[in-house]
Amino acid sequence: MSLLEVQNLVVEFPHRRGTLRALDDISFSIAPGEILGVVGESGAGKSLTGAAIIGLLEPPGRVAAGQILLEGQRIDHLGHEQMRHIRGRRIGAIFQDPLTSLNPLYTVGRQLTETILTHLPVSPAEARTRAIQLLKDTGIPAAEQRIDHYPHQFSGGMRQRVVIALALAAEPQLIVADEPTTALDVSIQAQIIQLLKNICKSRGAAVMLITHDMGVIAETCDRVAVLYAGRIAEIGPVHQVINHPAHPYTAGLMASIPDMEQDRERLNQIDGAMPRLNAIPPGCAFNPRCARAFERCLHERPELLDAGATRAACWLHAVPSEVRA
Ligand SMILES: Nc1ncnc2c1ncn2[C@@H]1O[C@H](COP(=O)(O)OP(=O)(O)O)[C@@H](O)[C@H]1O
Ligand code: SF4
Ligand SMILES: [Mg+2]
């Protein structure tokens, strides 16, 4: 069974003039222990997808349709308190800026032990031992001393390690990490991503890793979902999506990964920009930018279709009706 199941998720923002549909019919699942990458341009809907799952959509944003299931249990319509409990115990969250996850007034040890004591049946002494071990596991040197330090006494990279320790403290089955290294110095981003991957794999925690960096996806994830204008353009095993993209948008994204061997002149960007939510064209949302668009793309919206080893929302993969019959 899937650990997480997102089914036909729609997120809307009521607006003075009508409703903005920010996520439209998003469906995917994550298996236990699996790392799913979620990639897409800024504004594609990555963070909203993560926020809907962890129950932190900011009003007036709301789940307008669809459902979210954790181990088969619906979690999208739970109350604030129930969701808070799930968020600590069963789903851990890591955000871009480590300071949003840490309380500046408490030592990291206090924050770790409080989380452990809230969710796990252990004594305070045992919780402290566990907290020290978590800090060691996340690569904090001199953890026995550092545990009594405050967040501001850590560097940005070390703080994000503490946040990873905190997210894992109650042994959740799923970690939602939204651009966890974007705020960090470029030189330490890869280390933190490797840490996140290794520590989650070793504990069997599944990860939904949100990033705009296809290189990070390639090195870290088992599967990847490509978002475009609030919809999934393509989803599949990471090597298939990277090496044999089935959706023209994914193909464009792959071509735009800077290749160290080549000079930057050859960097192949996709012309045009992703549409605003209030100006998504009918048919395929990508059609104004797509070199392969044809008549059907202009007025009929493609669902996710089987496209070899991946699934792609693109009419190029439609089975001709005479074959289907
Ligand atoms: N509070 C809000 N009100 C209206 N639109 C919003 C709000 N929050 C996000 N959006 C819109 O939802 C879309 C997806 O946002 P987001 O999930 O943050 O994108 P990403 O994380 O992929 O960059 C964007 O077009 C954004 O403008
Ligand atoms: S459905 Fe048409 S416009 Fe959309 S990506 Fe496929 S070919 Fe391009
Ligand atoms: Mg975002």
**d(CA 199, ligand 1 centre) in Å:** 30
Rounded to whole angstroms, how far apart are CA atoms 255 and 253? 5
Buried b (16+ CB within 10 A) or exposed e, 213-225: bbebbbebbbbbb
**d(CA 74, ligand 2 centre) in Å:** 34
Query: Whose C-alpha lies nearest to ligand 1, atom 10?
Result: 22
Q: Report residues of the chain scoring pLDDT below 70.
A: 257-269, 321-325
Q: Are strands 91-94 and 174-178 parallel, antiparallel or unpaired?
A: parallel
User: For residues 93 and 87, is the Cβ–Cβ distance under 8 A?
Assistant: yes
**d(CA 145, ligand 3 centre) in Å:** 35
Ligand 1 pocket test: pick from 38, 42, 48 the residue with the most ligand atoms within 8 Å of its Cβ.
Answer: 48
List pocket residues of ligand 1, CB cut-off 6 Å: 13, 20, 22, 40, 42-48, 58, 61, 277
**d(CA 301, ligand 1 centre) in Å:** 22
User: For residues 236 and 28, is the Cβ–Cβ distance under 8 A?
Assistant: no
Locate the ligand 1 atom nearest the alpha carbon of residue 277 and give its number. 25
Q: Where are the domains of the chain?
A: 234-259+268-325
List pocket residues of ligand 2, CB cut-off 6 Å: 247-248, 284, 286-287, 290, 292-293, 297, 302, 314-316
Per-residue model confidence (pLDDT) at position 325: 44
As a residue count, the chain comes to: 325
Per-residue model confidence (pLDDT) at position 257: 66
Report helix, strand or coil for 244. Answer: coil
Handedness of CA 238, 239, 245, 249 (dihedral sign): positive
Locate the ligand 1 atom nearest the alpha carbon of residue 42 and give its number. 23
- Phi and psi at 62, nearest 5°, equal -150, 155
pTM for the whole thing? 0.94
Locate the ligand 1 atom nearest the alpha carbon of residue 210 and give its number. 21
Per-residue model confidence (pLDDT) at position 262: 52
Per-residue model confidence (pLDDT) at position 321: 63
